[in-house]
Amino acid sequence: MTATVPGTEAFAREWEEWHRQKEAVLAAPHGFLAVTALVWLDEQPTGVPGAPGLWSAGEQGVVVTLAEGEELVVHGEPVTGEHVFGHLGLRESVLTTAGDAAVEVAERGGRYVVRLRDPRSPLRLGYPGTPAYPADPRWAVPGRFVPFDAPRPTPVPGVLEGVQHVYDAPGRIEFELEGRQLSLTAFPGHTPGALSVLFSDETSGRTTYPFRSLQLPPPDADGSVLVDLNRAANLPCAYTDLATCPTPPAENRLPLAVEAGEKTPLGRGVGRPTDRGAVLEV
């Protein structure tokens, strides 16, 4: 295997930069801490708290009808009246803007959802940062990607009741940790060839959120890949109820305490149900 761990000082610097960038994305003006409302769409036009227009989803896909004086900016162009977003692809998102807020339209679990991302979110403004274990090279181990004969459709429940996600798992990651032979089912990552792993372990629900994610680079030609559990990260659902995160497949519970990566957030936004969605309270 060719995957290697950098020297201790470089390792710590690289981890600090990774964590700094992740925190910056999370707490950005339109990052996930800025989400203040979530509404699932159906054929009945409905409002989204804090966002312009009435929203619906039917034969045309997602449609918004803006009242006189209301405006959205879609792909850099202002729109008024009725605007048809159409049908979105699997897990596709479209980010529009309304003033200094962003209105996200997304497909999640076979349904359409609209979320408002408001920079004035109390959760974002009061964010204290995410605690984490100190970076430790012993949690970064060589692994091997073992592809399945064909991608396996893998259904996993979402954190919201009634939402189910399906991922085409390309294979599993095998590695040794603390003298144990372990494996995790992997899903496609955010870039071509990259991998994403959802897992839980014996710290889950104690010092860490009930599950975390790990993003892995494309494996080498021989399947080698570095499994760096220092980069085990919280998903948006660790911070707010207004998230639709998938949960790990049953086989992805590690039988040991992974005292590495991000810990349970210090603050959380709680969704207060409405008749059609949820809005944020802190």
The predicted-structure confidence for 65-101, as pLDDT tens digits, reads as follows 999 999 999 999 999 999 999 999 999 999 999 999 9
For residue 107, what are the domain limits? 32-126
pLDDT digits (tens, 9 = 90+) for 217-236: 999 999 999 999 999 999 99
Question: What is the pTM (predicted TM-score) of this model?
Answer: 0.91
Whether residue 91 lies inside any domain: the answer is yes
Going by C-beta distance under 8 Å and a sequence separation of 6 or more, which residues neighbour residue 69?
none
Which spans in the chain are helix H?
Answer: 8-26, 122-125
Distances in whole angstroms, Cα of residue 21 to Cα of each of 70, 105, 216: 35, 25, 16
User: Which residues lie closer than 8 Å to 9 by C-beta, 6 or more apart?
Assistant: none
Question: Do 246 and 112 lie in a common domain?
Answer: no
User: What's the rounded mean pLDDT across residues 1-10?
Assistant: 65
Residue 174 pLDDT greater than 70, yes or no: yes
Q: Which helix (H) or strand (E) holds 154?
A: strand 140-157
Q: Which of 48, 30, 167 is nearest to 113 (CA)?
A: 48
Question: Has residue 279 got a pLDDT over 90?
Answer: no
* Number of separate domains in the chain: 2
Asked, for residue 265, whether it belongs to a domain, the answer is no
Q: Are residues 163 and 118 in the same domain?
A: no
Q: Kindly state whether residue 226 falls inside one of the protein's structural domains.
A: yes
Domain-located, residue 258: no
pLDDT at 270: 80
Q: Could you tell me if residue 267 is inside a domain?
A: no
Residue 239 maps to a domain: yes
277-281 vs 270-273, strand pairing mode: antiparallel
Looking at residue 1, its pLDDT comes to 42
**Nearest residue to 30 (alpha-carbon basis) of 73, 61, 62, 70:** 73
Residue with more model confidence, 267 or 167: 167
Q: Does residue 80 sit in the same domain as residue 181? A: no
The verdict on 12 and 151 lying in the same domain is: yes
